[in-house]
Structure 1
Amino acid sequence: MKIYRVFAFFCLSFYANVFAQNLIVNHSFEQFTSNAWHSVLSVDFWNSGPSQEGNVTVKDGSICVGLRFKSPIADDWQEYIAQIIAGKFVAGKTYKISFYYKLADRCVFSTDDLGVGFVHNWVGNPTILSGFIDQIDASIKNPENTILTNYNQYRQFSQYYTATGTETYLVIGCFKKDANLTYEPISNPTASPMPDIYFFIDEVEVFACPNMPESLLENSYISCNQLPIELSTSVSADSYLWSNGSVGSSTQILPDEELVWLEATFGACKMRDTISIQRFSGPSDLGSDILLCGTNGLPVELKVSALPNETVTWSTGQVGSSLLVDAPGNYSVIKSLGTCTWTDEIQVLDLFEEIVLYPNPSSDEIHFKNENAISILNVASEDGKKLNLSPINVQELNQLIKELKPAIYFLDVELNSCFKSLKMCLINQ
């Protein structure tokens, strides 16, 4: 047991040392001799307090750096800071790169061009770094068209970078000359505005990320009902945070949640995965069978309610939430989403076709399709004489037939408010 504990402690310590080591020494600019940062143009190092750029605040320690991205008195005056990367980036490995930035509180213009670039395969005299600047593009940068306006507090720039393995120096700046620099006025109530674009930078960190999975969750989840569902990840991480605030490798998702994200922490690095929750809308209602008197009521539109991501297929082969029916018949429908399905069917009946007399001719009694719903309004002989005083049913008609002589008779029949005249022929047995 003791051996196991010692080994576990060693593994955890090794993990922490490897993946929690900042690869940028002097990350908060406190050292000016050994491990000093290198600058391009006249970069300023500031303590907290008033300055010509406005009030200076420091995020970490007692020193921060000031970088000018645009000057009203000199063209293409873009300042940069650079630091050698401790150790060596591993090709294909992911690194978390972050620092804090704040716009000077006298600025009334700002830009979205803040980023990080790298010098590759060079560890020579740092005083000639300025010669590399025009060859460097920002490898990671602030999103375009997101003008940085935080002049009253620091914000963190934090992104992930996949290394080529040739990076030797990390460089922070804007990497654009005046002609290509994106900038615009900002709302700043300062009493002493200046036309420069000037940022304070502090607390630069670069951490190697441990191997992380390609994804934490499946791309989507389909639920066949409207009940809460349990989502979980099989990925092992240091910590978890779900979009609903839950922590842990699983959480319960309520019916009204459509997009769910999970953020997992691996050492100093995080990754986030988002999935969509699709819920099957469930049963619809085609309604009762449709009864027609002849074809005058056609065409008839059949409809089911369905969500845009659901598929509705009719027995005719047509796909869509509605079907235009132009003939009587039996029709069925299937609504589906993934493995979730609902089916229903409906009859479109022409009642004229349902009012059928048989056998005809007959010697003793007759029958009708749906005869329990049949009403005989009139029974008349060939000379037009009415033989019944009021509507009768089929059983009563058969009683009447026993009293009639073989001949031709005419029946007025009603089925669900649909009326039809029939000829009945009685013959000798």
Structure 2
Amino acid sequence: MTKTLKIVSIFLFSITNFYSQNLITNPGFEKCDKCNTLGRPWLEFFFKTTANDPVDWFAPSPGSSDIRDILTHTGKKHGGFFSIGKFEYLANILSSPLEAGSEYKFSFWLAIDSFSKYSLDEIGVNFQTGMPMYNDFSLVGVVTPYWTTPDGEHLPHRAYKQYSFNYTACGGEDHIIIGRFSGLSKGDTLFIGPGERPASVFYYTFVDDVELIKIKDAPELSPTKEVLLCEGESIRVGIKSGFVDVKWSNGGSGDSTTVKHADNFVVVEAKTSKNCPAITDTIFIKQKSLQEESEELFGAEKICFPADSFIRSIKHNYTSFSWLSGQMTDVIKISNPGTYILTSSNGCKFSTDTLEVIAGANVDNIMKFPNVITPLEMNNNSFAPVILDPTFKDLIESYELEIYNRWGKRVFESKNKDEAWRPDQSHPTETYTYLLKGVINDCENKIELLKKGTFTIIR
């Protein structure tokens, strides 16, 4: 019991740890390998420069954002940037790309430096795929943020406030940018003093303890991966709600579509939001297990040939037909006796039946007899009737072969139609008489078989 509890605890801890992993690299700005290089404990990110190797925080534009130690939320360092008058932005390389459709929670702590004299609202966050590098100082009108702090809610003066929001990823986003992305309008600024209002306005924002964690896995487009249908059936399948721009490979649209047995599969394409690339899923359509019935398809077990040159299946509720010979209709033309097998089906129900087509037969058209045998030759050293067609062998119901020498003495007798007489040296070269008696099934009639003749042994 104790071991079980330990395993469960470790498993739950692993899941919790996975979902609480912060994807922001150097989230508290505490690592700054290049700080103090100029005799000061802080560092400006100039365009395309960074504080650490490998890169975490950097400046995505010519404006020089910073790592400083003026006012921290936790630890000894924080990030910062100017907005308006001098535009700066903080960018971060995520530890791993975001997964399409997964939901993430972003949070950070913001404050305004008193040096700025003014507080500001609408600090924004944008997610990007690929390294963001812009030649413009200001990204106003260049980048549209996914989220901003509320309009009219000015950042606190030298006191941090946490802001957070949830984000559903398009997939592949591997960078964030933090900064002011919109121009000033009435009410966007607030004088925080002290003293006179300055002629030049520079807003400096403190940033600390940035966090981006996954809180929910991406939903599957379709909870159904496979449907089972009988021939001729159809069913409606759908995806989970919340997706946009839904398209189905069979021409359907919306959250559901109708699939048929004849479809091998259907592909659905949808977006998590209008600005995201589409994701796809596939639903496979497979045949249900067939249920065998015991219907008679012919109404008889045997028919005579050539009494009727066509075989017809008697009427049932079946819609599909498959003969062993390959034909796919309920009526076929026959040209030879033999065994004919038909499988008829409708949906998931089927029946299989067999019909024997029997040929009329007599001794002359099913066998012949040699008139000479040569015991010293390999290919002609025995005597027996030769069956002309192997299918006729089953028509012989009884069989008895007798052979006599010229003096009337019986030298061989057999009731096995597969047994032949092989003469030896005691049987001289002369003429012998054979007598064959038996019964043949001539279609639905039985015919007495009687055949008498002679043959000669030659050495």
TM range, smaller chain: 0.3 to 0.5
Tell me which structure has the larger Cα radius of gyration: 2
User: Which protein has greater RCO, CA pairs closer than 8 Å, 6+ apart?
Assistant: 1
TM-score, normalising length: structure 2: 0.39
